[in-house]
């Protein structure tokens, strides 16, 4: 699964992305690509991913970014603020999996 994280400056989501990868069992890491970018690069990159997760600090951008990705069937949602602050990679990956399943009926 390819997961794109977006936030205002990109620094905090880079740490979250690393936490997400670290939370995966070694035998699953090859099945994931997790990258972090600033939201202003969203249009250039989102089509290369299965799920887009937004940092809580840019939750106000969700509707506009979701509207862009809707036609491409790429779910966009905001990361739970507690999971984000605690860098709970396991819960954030589970959230991404649920979004993907809902969007693709898997």
pTM of the entire predicted model? 0.94
Helix (H, G, I), strand (E, B) or coil at 51: strand
Q: Give catalytic status of residue 7 as yes or no.
A: yes
Check if the beta carbon of residue 61 is closer than 8 Å to that of residue 67.
no
User: Which stretches of the chain drop beneath a pLDDT of 50?
Assistant: none
All structural domains of the chain with their residue ranges = 2-104
Highest CATH level, class, for 2-104: alpha beta
Check if the beta carbon of residue 13 is closer than 8 Å to that of residue 42.
no
Q: Indicate which residue of 3, 4, 7, 53 is catalytic.
A: 7
Instruction: Determine phi and psi for 36, rounding to 5 degrees.
Output: -125, 135
pLDDT of 104 reads 85
pLDDT of 106 reads 63
């Amino acid at each position: 699964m390819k997961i794109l994280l977006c936030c205002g400056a990109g620094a905090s989501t880079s740490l979250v992305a690393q936490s997400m990868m670290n939370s995966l069992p070694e035998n699953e890491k090859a099945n994931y690509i997790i990258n972090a970018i600033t939201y202003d690069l969203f249009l250039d990159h989102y089509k290369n991913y299965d799920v887009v997760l937004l940092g809580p600090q840019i939750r106000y951008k969700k509707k506009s970014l979701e509207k862009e990705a809707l036609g491409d069937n790429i779910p966009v949602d905001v990361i739970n603020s507690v999971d984000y602050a605690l860098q709970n990679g396991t819960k954030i990956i589970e959230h991404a999996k649920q979004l993907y399943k809902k969007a693709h009926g898997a």
